[in-house]
């Protein structure tokens, strides 16, 4: 991981203006993706040796090796919400220490809300994403842009 950081920083500095724009240039994205995979430039559909990679799209009734499989039974109903919201309300005097004044033993503060999306497991605190690697997001976005533009 550390070996990739200097390359990404250099590319980000050199291509900074193009990347800051709403529509980065194809060349800037190629440079970012190449820095993220230093052994070879990224080409959609090919591995680092240039060999074709099979698609990962789901095919019903077929396993990963192309063999036919029996269809699964009907799915059980899902009663879970799309996202979970957990209020974060710590007790004030648990953090301040000492004995709380009479009647304030259960005083809490509303620190915010932890939200977890069930679809992808992404967590948010007060609407801000947690655990997002900005450089990985930049590389992912550039790869997607290069595929959309057909630039190889």
Q: Give me 133's structure tokens.
A: 């690697």
Domain hosting 85: range is 81-117
**Residues 49 and 1 occupy one common structural domain:** yes
Q: 92 lies in a domain?
A: yes
Give me the helices (H) in 26-97, please: 26-36, 92-96
Please, are residues 88 and 114 in contact by the beta-carbon 8 Å criterion?
A: yes
- Quickly tell me which residue has 């497991």 as its tokens: 121
Q: For residues 15 and 93, which has the higher predicted lDDT (pLDDT)? A: 93
Q: Span 141-151, mean pLDDT?
A: 76
Number of domains within the chain: 2
Q: 151 lies in a domain?
A: yes
Strand partners, 115: 85, 124
Q: 102 lies in a domain?
A: yes
Q: 31 lies in a domain?
A: yes
Give the three-class secondary structure for 56. Answer: coil
Q: Span 62-72, mean pLDDT?
A: 80
109: left (phi over 0), alpha (psi -120 to 50) or beta: beta
Residue 77 pLDDT: 79
Longest dimension (CA), the chain: 72
DSSP conformation class of 149: H
Closest C-alpha to 7, from 40, 29, 46, 38 = 38
**Residues 48 and 91 occupy one common structural domain:** no
List, for residues 95-125, the tens digit of each pLDDT value: 888 888 888 888 998 989 999 998 888 888 9
**Residues 109 and 137 occupy one common structural domain:** no
């Amino acid at each position: 991981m550390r070996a990739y950081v200097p390359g990404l920083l250099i590319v980000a500095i050199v291509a900074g203006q193009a990347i800051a724009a709403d529509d980065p240039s194809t060349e800037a994205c190629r440079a970012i993706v190449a820095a993220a995979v230093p052994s070879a430039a990224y080409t959609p559909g090919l591995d680092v040796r240039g060999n074709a990679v099979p698609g990962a799209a789901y095919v019903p009734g077929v396993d990963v090796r192309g063999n036919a499989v029996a269809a699964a039974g009907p799915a059980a109903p899902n009663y879970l919400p799309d996202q979970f919201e957990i209020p974060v309300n710590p007790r004030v005097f648990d953090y301040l220490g000492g004995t709380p004044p009479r009647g304030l033993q259960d005083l809490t503060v509303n620190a915010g809300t932890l939200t977890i999306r069930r679809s992808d497991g992404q967590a948010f605190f007060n609407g801000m994403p947690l655990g997002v690697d900005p450089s990985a997001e930049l590389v992912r976005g550039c790869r997607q842009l290069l595929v959309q533009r057909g630039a190889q």
